[in-house]
Structure 1
Amino acid sequence: MSTDPFVARLMAAHHDQRACCREPHQVSRRVFADLLDQSRGTAFGRAHGLDRVRTLAEFQAAVPVGDYESFRGYVDRIRDGEQRVLTRSRPYALHTTSGTTGRPKYVPTTRHWRNRYRGPALYAQWGLYFQRLGLDRYRPGNVLDMSWERSLIPLPEPGGPVPVYSITKRPATVGPQDWTPPWYAEPWFLDTGGEQSLYRKVRLLAGSDVRMVVAVNPSRITALGELLNDQLELLLKDLSDGTLLGAPDPRLTAQEATASRLEAAYSYGGRVTLCDLWPQLSMLVCWNSASARYYRAWLERLAPGVPLVPFSTTGTEGIVTMPVDTHPSAGPLAVDQGLFEFVPCEPSDAGRPLPSGVATLSSYELTTGETYRLVMSQANGLLRYDSGDIYRVVGRVGELPRLEFEGRGGSVSSFTGEKLTESDVHAAIRTAVGHSSVPSVYCVVPSWGYPPGYVLVMEWPDGPGASSEAFRDRVEAELSRVNVEYAEKRDSGRLHPLRAQTVAPGTFRALTEHHVTRGASAAQVKHRWLHTDDTLLTQLPRLNGTHAA
């Protein structure tokens, strides 16, 4: 056992998480009881008669399955200052994320939820990382944690309005059980905002013995590696002069050895890697399933030979799986985080809301190799919440299914966590056009690259030019307005600016005819505002002339 209290706590939490896989039933019963306790005496609890509920069957009969829109009215009441709406514990913040209707979602978070669920889960997760690296204590500079940032958002006043911010930019921990790592007070961890925030982290940790880099989405790590190359000249000068962004900083001294190592690496290969900056780098942590798989080659180029370990499958609404072993992309269901139900589905599920009375399966009834849509209940008040997320069972860990995230149902695209939807695209184009009736001559197609991004394909009589570029810019601005995650990823450089590809009038009609001549029913070939892969981009040149802008 480590003598470092922080590492000892990590190891104990990781041990408990693995034990939960072997004997989950008692944990599940305890979570269910707590969910009922948090709902009693609330507006939602009264509306659904939860004071009378004692069993899981009664709970499922009382609470219909619903997507976020079924909770929006309750959340609006929380935003208006009403208490005891979804939970007995008062929400101290609303975490914002993008929704599938083009309107942001606001997820309540309470101290009870943080201290009893989300915080302890992070200790268990980080226990795996420290165990795999063989670190028996934390030494300042061993970790670059980009999974969240300590922001300067002021804490709410008692009785004041509930603040709204991203879950990755929290202002403070909220209690002794909440995740409070020892780097919490280190200068590089504070989110200063602005375009140079990521560079600041690199500079402050440039001479440190960084062993692991941790992020939720791999796009954050690739952004780090590309910034290292894009701003290498500035970094070399700062390292040689002992400055930060060219200005003196009392915390920094000249680091000529680091500068010389980077210069030598650049002279040899024309680029530098994260391993050139941190020679002892031994682990990258991030998502490694669904669209995150696209980043594997990019990560290998930026950190050659460094193992990739998965982050928990986690969203603003709650944690679903936890990594506990060496599996590269999937973890066991986190039954200590909530109540989870599953609906059999195909990976191509249309994404429509589930029927309120849909029959569900427990985690013990799932079949390896099959895919399921997730319904979850969390102590933040979202009960029997239709997440829209699809998981594949790839094995078992003890008595629990090992789940790999497959993506979201329906027309949703997400390279970096932006979760762009068909509704987002339709709303953006409709506004850019300037009236509600939009001709079906536009669509948006995901396009992989470094960084990835989207292509606006549009029938444009005059071909590429100032008018098509102006329209593309209007659509880009509207996408950022209707989807907060898209705006954030564009601002941070993790998504390429929207590109335009003009096609001649009649191209989409020719595309329909192309499919029909190959056996498809004309009724089945429908216009899609958002495509989920780049197949269309390879088909268009064969049908008609196209031009990129």
Structure 2
Amino acid sequence: MALLIGAHQILEMACKKAYKTYHQQINQLENVQREKLKIILKDETLSYEEFRTKFPLTRYSDWKDKIENSREQSINLLNGDKIIRFQPTSGSSEALKFIPYTQGFLDELDQAIGLWLTSLYLEYPNLKHSTHYWSVSWLPESQRKLTLSDNLNDDSALLSFTKRFLTKITQAAPADIALAESAEDAMFATVVYLVADENLGMISVWSPTFALQLFEIIQENQQEIAKVLKHGKWSRPSLNFLKVPKSAKQSKKLLELDLNHANAWKKLWPKLELISSWDTASARHWALNLREKIANVSFEGKGLWATEGVVTIPLNGHYPLTYQSHFYEFLNLADQSIVPSWELKVGQIVSPILTTGSGLTRYVIDDELEVTAFYHQIPCFKFLGRKMTVDLVGEKIDQTVAQHILAQLKSEQYLPISLLGVELNQEKKPHYVLLSEGEAELAPTPEHIDALLKQNFHYELARNLGQLDEPSILHVEDAWDYYKKLAMHNGMIEGNIKPEPLKKMRSLLD
């Protein structure tokens, strides 16, 4: 315990500089941002006004060839800096993307993490006396061959060396869990470590469905987990590469608890004080379920953090711009104008444009944000959702992906109308439904649709982790008529309904 408390104290000291600088310069947004642009571009003479005329807006497709060549040649063709790692992800334009992480870019992320950690220590001081669980960056099973570097799956690798060393002491579960042969084994190992840790004080995940899945696994495998903890031996041989935790005390406690009661979890983890996850847009329903699952624990929503960079973090009840990390512009969705951060106004609906130390310049993140307030001079945002995308649990299926699938399946006798992302269903978890008409015998199998969707990195990951159920086929006589009725059932006005290749629906018709 003394080592744990000491590590937190040193970690807090290491993070305080970011918090102090953020607040010292909080009324100097324009000056800080203009200087940040010069630092990133390594050009002291180029003004922002010249920059915006010289460099166009970009998306991943504009960088793809340079990134692929950088990976093949082991050099950085974007900005010349040494690339520490290529972080795999997916998004609106690509099934699989690789984002270059340079040391400069990692320093930018470290700044935001230090700010967030210090704010947590200030608001929840008891966290300095407990362990934390931060979910690692999971890879889909088909992409495990990508784990060629030791830090690819370790989110703590985003931190500086000192902070990374300290978090290994304060973390409840080792990052090596992500290297298990299957997602099922990795999830099981994770819950064993969590249950073994009576000092667990915080659970930080991205999707609330992931946290709900962890708790479900604990409930479904209560006896097996207790046996592993009692004897200190894995029940699954594939996990023998991991050190097994042992705790007769936690084993006994687990068997005595009825985890269907919200109060029981706090008995398992008496120090549990905070759960953090997404809680806006499509995550809102599941975040509410998560809050109801565990009683007497505080909840904090996540800021906007993409693989390509960070935009906001939670701070004093707001979600302000992490203005000291990258250079930020915003696409005003009302008139398509480009607005620098210091000219934003409350009520604007925007998409962030990042210029970062990774080498990506004027990179558009296709998320919709609302400017909600100002924290001193710093704009604050609310995440509204992803443009032209369905994102039930973090899988990010884009309209172009849906259009490609529908085109593959279409024939003279069979017409797929739309791919529906269904949030709520009494019998299934969130899942996708193919709506179609025509000859029923020509309809694809759910397995075929699943395989096509699994070409998307984050969809496959969500399926591996059990956050999404298998797709289903909804074949009807008149698909357009059903689509209209379904859209109205989900709150749309009939005159505004148009057939879309991809559509999120809260629920299906009874």
Instruction: Tell me: CA distance 1:392–1:271, structure 2 relative to 1, closer, same or farther (3 Å).
Output: closer
Evaluate the alpha carbon distance shift between residue 36 and residue 261 of structure 1 in structure 2; reply closer, same or farther with a 3 A threshold: same
Determine if the alignment matches structure 1 residue 206 to structure 2 residue 184. no
Deviates more, 1:224-233 or 1:185-194: 185-194
Which stretch shifts more, 94-103 or 271-280? Answer: 271-280
Distance 2:251 2:44 in 1: 67
Q: For residue 445 of structure 2, what is the aligned residue in structure 1?
A: 471
Q: CA deviation at 1:473?
A: 1.2
1:79 match: secondary structure: helix
Please tell me the residue identity of whatever aligns with 1:409: K
Q: Deviations over 1:223-251 (max 9, x none)?
A: 21111112112112223434332779986
Moved more, 361-370 or 14-23: 14-23
Match of 2:26 in 1: 21
Deviation at residue 119 of structure 1 after TM alignment? 2.0
Query: Aligned to 1:145, which of 124, 131, 134?
Result: 134
2:53 match: secondary structure = helix
Matched, 1:130 2:108: no
CA shift digits 1:315-337 (9 cap, x unpaired): 10000012222x2xx41111111
Q: Deviations over 1:277-323 (max 9, x none)?
A: 31221100122222221212221232223111133310100000122
Q: For this pair of structures, how many residues does the alignment match?
A: 487
SS in 2 for 1:340: strand
What's the counterpart of residue 30 of structure 1? 35
Confirm whether residue 344 of structure 1 aligns to residue 332 of structure 2.
yes
Cross-structure match for 1:529 = 501
Q: How does 1:383-532 map to 2 (within 5 A)?
A: 383-410=361-388, 412-431=389-408, 433=409, 439-449=415-425, 451-459=429-437, 461-462=439-440, 468=443, 471-481=445-455, 483-504=456-477, 506-509=478-481, 526-532=498-504
1:261 to 246, 249, 253: 253
CA pair 322-6 structure 1, distance change in 2 beyond 3 A: same
Q: 316, 319, 338: which is aligned to 1:360?
A: 338
Q: Tell me, what secondary structure is at the counterpart of 2:285?
A: helix
1:489 is displaced (CA, Å) by 0.8
Change (3 A) 1:97 1:285: same
* Aligned partner letter, 2:320: P
The verdict on how the C-alpha distance between 1:415 and 1:181 changes in structure 2, with shifts beyond 3 A counting, is farther
Report the counterpart of residue 214 of structure 2 in structure 1: 224
Q: Deviations over 1:442-499 (max 9, x none)?
A: 4323233573222222225448xxx75x522101111002x11000110011112212
Question: How does 1:532-547 map onto structure 2 within 5 Å?
Answer: 532-534=504-506, 537-538=508-509
Find the counterpart in structure 2 of residue 319 from structure 1: 310
- Which residue in the other structure is 2:143 paired with? none
Q: Counterpart amino acid of 1:475? A: I
Q: Given the superposition, is the C-alpha separation of residues 519 and 23 from structure 1 closer, same or farther in structure 2, using an over 3 Å criterion? A: closer
Seq. identity, %: 17
The CA distance in 2 between the partners of 1:150 and 1:444, in whole Å, is 25
User: Matches of 2:502 and 2:404 in 1, distance apart?
Assistant: 12
When residues 147 and 394 of structure 1 are mapped into structure 2, their CA distance, relative to the original with a 3 A threshold, is farther
Distance 1:117 1:341, change over 3 A: same
| 1:145–1:215 CA contact under 8 A, matched in 2 | yes
Task: Tell me: CA distance 1:435–1:456, structure 2 relative to 1, closer, same or farther (3 Å).
Answer: closer
Read off the aligned partner of 2:191 and give its amino acid letter. V
Distance 1:519 1:162 in 2: 48
Cα deviation code 1:209-266 (max 9, x no counterpart): 10111112222211211111121121122234343327799864452x4334333332
Q: Contact 2:350–2:370 at 8 Å: present in 1 too?
A: yes
1:435 deviates by 7.2
Corresponding residue SS for 1:402: strand
Amino acid at match of 1:66: T
C-alpha RMSD of matched pairs (Å): 3.7
Alpha-carbon distance, 1:271 to partner: 8.4
Partner of 1:289: 280
Distance 1:61 1:130 in 2: 43
Distance 1:384 1:29, change over 3 A: same
Residue 245 of structure 1 corresponds to which residue in structure 2? Answer: 235
Residues 312-321 or 213-222, more deviating: 213-222
**Which residue, out of 300, 318, 326, partners 2:291?**
300
* Aligned residue identity for 1:421: D
Match of 1:546 in 2: none
TM-score (ref. length: structure 1) = 0.78
Give the 3 Å change call, closer, same or farther, for CA 212–276 of structure 1 in structure 2: same
Distance in 2 (CA, whole Å) between partners of 1:473 and 1:375 is 37
Q: How far 1:63 moved relative to its partner?
A: 0.4
Residue segments in structure 2 that go unaligned for 5+ positions in a row: 141-145
Three-state SS of the structure 2 residue aligned to 1:285 is: strand
AA at the equivalent of 1:307: S
8 Å Cα contact 1:4/1:136 also seen in 2: no
| Letter matched to residue 18 of structure 2 | A
Task: Provide the residue aligned with 2:179 in structure 1.
Answer: 192
Instruction: Please say if residues 96 and 107 of structure 1, whose CA atoms lie closer than 8 Å, have aligned partners that are also in contact.
Output: yes
Alpha-carbon distance change, 515 to 88 in structure 1, aligned in 2, over 3 angstroms = closer
> What SS does the corresponding residue of 1:61 show, helix, strand or coil?
helix
Letter in 1 for 2:255: E
Q: Is the 2:67–2:100 Cα contact (8 Å) retained in structure 1?
A: yes
* Residue identity in the other structure for 2:33: S
Task: State the 1:65 CA deviation.
Answer: 1.3
1:157 match: none
Q: Scaled by the length of structure 2, what TM-score is found? A: 0.83
For the pair 1:67 / 2:40, whether they are aligned, the reply is: no
Is the 8 Å Cα contact of residues 447 and 455 (structure 1) preserved in structure 2?
A: no
Aligned CA distance change for structure 1 residues 167 and 388 (closer, same or farther; 3 Å): farther
Once residues 279 and 252 of structure 1 are traced to their aligned partners in structure 2, the CA distance between those partners, rounded to angstroms, is 19
> Unpaired runs of 5+ in structure 1?
38-50, 152-160, 347-353, 542-549
Q: Which amino acid aligns with 1:495?
A: L
